[in-house]
């Protein structure tokens, strides 16, 4: 396997970042294309109700990605620092423990979901009209979740192992398979929402299997490590898993917040605009992961550079990586906002029939939602930076501010101030408020450091 031969200790920051960012961005773009195609096939091939049903189940994706990013980010940060200390064995142990934790967590989630499907869907805001469709989609989706976890964690660790292009290929192959099977099962085979679910689940199995194959046969330093079957080893595993979870908690909260945002949004759109409003909101929910993915590509690409050099105590390189990441985040956020402002009708048309009420609602609302992209990208980059240097508390607080503390009240109260526009402006308002706090605290801390040096 051709490696990228990344030298996190000595190579120029700009070249390192580009080597990680562009493959990661390509993978994220393919995932975004997958989300759009999936919504397009379901929206046009099955109908707006099916699209709304998938939006009800979408928090499951957020939970799955969140757990994957939590342990992936946490394991990658710790493993980066251990590798900077030339402790390869410890890095391998950390990787293995991250995967064992996922096996336990996702086994539990899948069993509980099969046992209490209807109750869980109603908790997620599902109406009687959408219950059968949402239940069918979830039933066939659940088997793929564990493999999706393998893929999510693996992306971070494969990049750290020096193979960002292989990480890209995993996501690209899985996305292409999903898109192709989506079309085949929804249109030629006429399997409806069940076909879309099977296609997604199968693609997750392929992606997760590719990650396992990499670590078994092709990896450089990071390999699975056989853990001892002793009480002491178990306690060390619990301790390490807990620390991984603490470092990656901010990433989990970001995804959990998107799930909470969708649940709250589903309730509010349903109460004010009915099922057509939920279908319109689902278009925004399909597009929001694109905003998240591109912004997250910046954070994930800078993470191993920052963590490795933080572990090596080379703070000058850490600062350079942060500045480069922030510049990239600003450019990415502005491009996304521009696309959503200028392309709202086209984006809505991809998912919904142009003669539907849901299309009109989405066309009006997407430009308002698109205002969040710039601020979101800056926030995610800062949060990723603090995670990368083991600043657990501050990264967690900022994730809670943007994802829970600000956004849920905004959904509840803004519609009463600016009517239905408030539904679409809730996320941008939360991101702006969070960004102002992040920048203010960062500037004050930097000024205090400069004052102490002088």
pLDDT attached to residue 453: 65
Q: Please report the beta strands in 99-188, taking only residues with DSSP state E, as ranges in sequence order.
A: none
Return all residues near 350 (Cβ < 8 A) that are at least 6 apart. Answer: 36, 39, 40, 43
Q: How many angstroms separate the first and last alpha carbons of the chain?
A: 51
Is the distance from CB of 67 to CB of 149 less than 8 angstroms?
A: yes
pLDDT attached to residue 259: 67
Return the exposure string of 331-360: e unless at least 16 CB atoms fall within 10 Å of the residue's CB, then b.
Answer: ebbeebbebbeeebeebbbbbbeeebbbbb
Whole-angstrom CA distances from 222 to 128, 163, 329 are 48, 11, 29
State how far the Cα of 362 lies from the Cα of 424, in Å rounded to an integer. 10
Residues with pLDDT less than 70, the chain: 1-5, 32, 34-36, 38-40, 43-45, 259, 419, 451-454
Which residue is associated with the tokens 């709250």? Answer: 264
State how far the Cα of 40 lies from the Cα of 344, in Å rounded to an integer. 15
Q: Which of 288, 279, 262 is nearest to 358 (CA)?
A: 279
């Amino acid at each position: 396997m051709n490696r990228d031969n990344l030298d996190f200790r000595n190579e120029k920051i700009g070249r390192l970042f580009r080597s990680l960012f562009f493959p990661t961005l390509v993978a994220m773009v393919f995932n975004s294309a997958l989300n759009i195609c999936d919504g397009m096939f379901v929206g046009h091939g099955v109908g707006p109700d099916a699209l709304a049903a998938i939006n009800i189940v979408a928090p499951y994706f957020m939970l799955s990605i969140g757990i994957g990013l939590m342990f992936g980010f946490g394991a990658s940060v710790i493993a980066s620092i251990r590798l900077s200390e030339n402790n390869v064995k410890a890095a391998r142990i950390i990787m293995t423990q991250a995967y064992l934790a996922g096996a336990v967590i996702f086994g539990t989630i899948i069993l509980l979901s099969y046992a209490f499907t209807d109750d869980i869907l109603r908790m997620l805001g599902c109406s009687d009209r959408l219950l059968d469709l949402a239940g069918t989609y979830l039933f066939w989706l659940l088997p793929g979740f564990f493999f999706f976890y393998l893929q999510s964690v693996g992306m971070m660790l494969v990049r750290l192992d020096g193979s960002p292009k292989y990480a890209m290929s995993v996501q690209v192959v899985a996305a292409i398979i999903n898109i192709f099977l989506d079309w085949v099962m929804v249109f030629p085979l006429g399997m409806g929402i069940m076909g879309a679910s099977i296609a997604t689940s199968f693609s997750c199995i392929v992606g997760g299997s590719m990650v396992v194959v990499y670590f078994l046969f092709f990896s450089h330093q990071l390999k699975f490590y056989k853990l001892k079957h002793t009480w002491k080893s178990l306690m060390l595993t619990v301790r390490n898993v807990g620390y991984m979870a603490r470092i990656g908690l901010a990433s989990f909260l970001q995804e959990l917040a998107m799930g909470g945002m969708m649940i709250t949004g589903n309730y509010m759109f349903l109460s004010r605009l009915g099922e057509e409003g939920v279908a319109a909101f689902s278009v925004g929910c399909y597009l929001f992961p694109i905003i998240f993915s591109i912004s997250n590509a910046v954070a994930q690409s800078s993470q191993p550079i920052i963590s490795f050099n933080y572990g090596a105590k080379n703070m000058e390189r850490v600062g350079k990586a942060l500045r480069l990441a922030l510049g990239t985040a600003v450019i990415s956020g502005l491009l996304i906002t521009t696309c959503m402002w200028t392309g709202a009708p086209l984006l809505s048309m991809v998912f919904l029939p142009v003669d539907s009420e849901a299309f009109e609602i989405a066309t009006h609302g997407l430009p308002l939602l698109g205002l969040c992209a710039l601020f979101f990208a800056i926030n995610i980059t800062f949060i990723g930076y603090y995670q990368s240097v083991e600043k657990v508390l501050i990264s967690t607080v900022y994730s809670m501010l943007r994802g829970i503390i600000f956004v849920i009240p905004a959904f509840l109260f803004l519609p009463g101030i600016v009517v239905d526009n408030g539904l679409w402006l809730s996320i941008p308002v939360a991101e702006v408020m969070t960004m102002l706090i992040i920048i203010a605290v960062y500037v004050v801390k930097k000024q205090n450091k400069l004052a102490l040096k002088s």
